[in-house]
Amino acid sequence: MKKILFFAAFLLAGHALFSQVQSYYNDVDLTKTGMDLKDELSLKISSTHTVFVTYSQLWDVLRQTDEVTTDTSKVYLMYGWENGTDGDCHNDIMRNKYDNGGTAANCEWNREHVYPKSLGTPAFTNNDTVGADPHHIRPSDVSMNGSRGNKKFADATGNAGTVNANFWYPGDEWKGDVARIIMYLYLRYGDRCQPVNVGTGPAVSTDPGMLQLFLEWNAQDPPSPVEDRRNNVLETLQGNRNPFIDNPYLATIIWGGPPATDRWNMSVAGERLARKVKVYPNPARDEVFIILKDEQADFRLVSADGKVLFEETFSNSVSWKLNRLPGHIYFIHIRTRDGVLTVKKLIKQ
């Protein structure tokens, strides 16, 4: 439903987006990788955050950031999936922009903290910068917002709803939005908004604050034109952008995981590198051989949950024994000395 509604918005977005995006990152060293790139982007989005919205101002801000371009009387609602055809207003994907407040019975919308205030370290309030940052806040039906409460995110499929009584799934069409908001908050506010405190599952081995779950959601659900539009509006209103909306592949470069959409063709060099790397046999049973001639690189064998199983720097070739690993899908991360990254999938029988 969301993708259909957003198609018209995409046609209206035009090419101005990309020139605006590129100029914002002119002073960022995008050749960096890992935690160095994380720090570089953190400095950028913090130093350009020059206007601070108050919590009371969010009503007007959200009417601009989440406006439905094909019907400007309405805003999009986080976690919604249909638009009034089933007679239940609480799962609607859009609503009149002035039907805001705190009454579920009147089908009003309110301000959803995607990162619940009580899960911050320490907990934050509506008066804190993080508590009123509109990159963080989305319109949501009052009842839907109440159902989510302060539940941590967990993986599932289908529409938004409670998982195993204690967790929350944002829905197939919203999980990427959630992941990129959480990543932005981690870069902008550091340990106060660690992803591991707001989701479930294993952490990334190279950064114990980041969850593999959000890397997967970022890859599975690419940015929509609505995310692009609100990113542009927020740069105009408060000065900074969410880098992971501009290019989800930045998360892959920083934390690894499944390759996300590369909107800047940063992976072109990675694709060239991928053609030079030979992995055989694949599928493999007891041993895998990796060949990269005449170039030194760092190689990691990474499990689907982000755990680094083998790590080695070499040129020409290497082999890894796999007999103690269970049959599963794994990822081989190859990063050259000049920072080019490519990821190969390995199937262990």
Residue 83 DSSP SS3: coil
φ, ψ for residue 183, nearest 5 deg: -65, -45
pTM for this entry: 0.77
What is the per-residue pLDDT across 24-83, written as a single tens digit (0 to 9) for each? 998 898 878 889 999 999 999 999 999 999 999 999 999 999 999 999 999 999 999 998
Closest among 150, 138, 148 to 180, alpha carbons compared = 138
Measured between its terminal Cα atoms, the distance across the chain in Å is 38
What pLDDT, in 10s, does the model give residues 202-233?
999 889 999 999 999 999 999 999 999 999 99
Where do the domains of the chain lie?
A: 2-255, 268-348
The rounded distance, in Å, linking the Cα atoms of 215 and 260 is: 8
pLDDT at 87: 87
Say if residue 283 is preceded by a cis peptide, omega within 30 of 0.
yes
Query: Of 228, 236, 191, which Cα lies nearest the Cα of 49?
Result: 236
pLDDT of 258 above 70:
yes
pLDDT at 1: 52
Rounded to an integer, what distance in angstroms lies between the CA atom of residue 238 and that of residue 57?
Answer: 12
What average pLDDT does range 259-276 have in this prediction? 79
CA distance 297 to 334: 6
pLDDT, residue 331, reads 84
**Residue 320 pLDDT > 80, yes or no?**
yes
pLDDT at 10 over 50: no
Calculate mean pLDDT across residues 90-117: 96
Q: At residue 8, does pLDDT exceed 70?
A: no
Asked if pLDDT for residue 287 goes beyond 50, the answer is yes
The proportion of the chain whose per-residue pLDDT surpasses 90, expressed as a percent, equals 66
Read off the pLDDT of each residue in 97-101 and give the average, rounded to a whole number: 96
Between 6 and 149, the more confident residue is 149
Range from 91-100, 263-272, 281-290, 303-312 carrying the lowest mean pLDDT: 263-272
CA 106 – CA 247 distance, rounded (Å): 38
Cis peptide before 281 (omega within 30 of 0): yes
Burial class (CB in 10 A: 0-12, 13-18, 19+), 55: middle
Q: Which stretch of 90-94, 104-108, 325-329 has the lowest confidence by average pLDDT?
A: 325-329
pLDDT of residue 6: 43
- SS3 call for 165: coil
CATH number of the domain located at residue range(s) 268-348 in this protein = 2.60.40.3080
Q: How confident is the model at residue 305 (pLDDT cuts 50, 70, 90)?
A: low
Please write the tens of the pLDDT for every residue from 172-196: 999 999 999 999 999 999 999 999 9
Over residues 293-314, mean pLDDT: 80
The more confidently predicted of residues 297 and 165 is 165
Contact 271, 342 (CB under 8 A): yes
Compute the distance between CA of residue 215 and CA of residue 183 in angstroms, rounded to an integer. 9
- Which range in 41-45, 86-90, 275-279, 343-347 is most confidently predicted, on average pLDDT? 41-45
Taking 90 as the threshold, does the pLDDT of residue 295 lie above it? no
Phi, psi of 322 (to 5 degrees): -115, 0
> What's the CA gap between 159 and 157, in Å, rounded?
7
What's the pLDDT score for residue 159? 97
Predicted pLDDT of residue 20: 59
Q: What mean pLDDT comes out for the span 223-250?
A: 96
| pLDDT given for residue 314 in this prediction | 76
3-state secondary structure of 72: coil
User: Is the per-residue pLDDT at 273 higher than 90?
Assistant: no
User: What pLDDT sits at residue 97?
Assistant: 97
Mean pLDDT of 144-155: 97
d(CA 237, CA 61) in angstroms, rounded, equals: 8
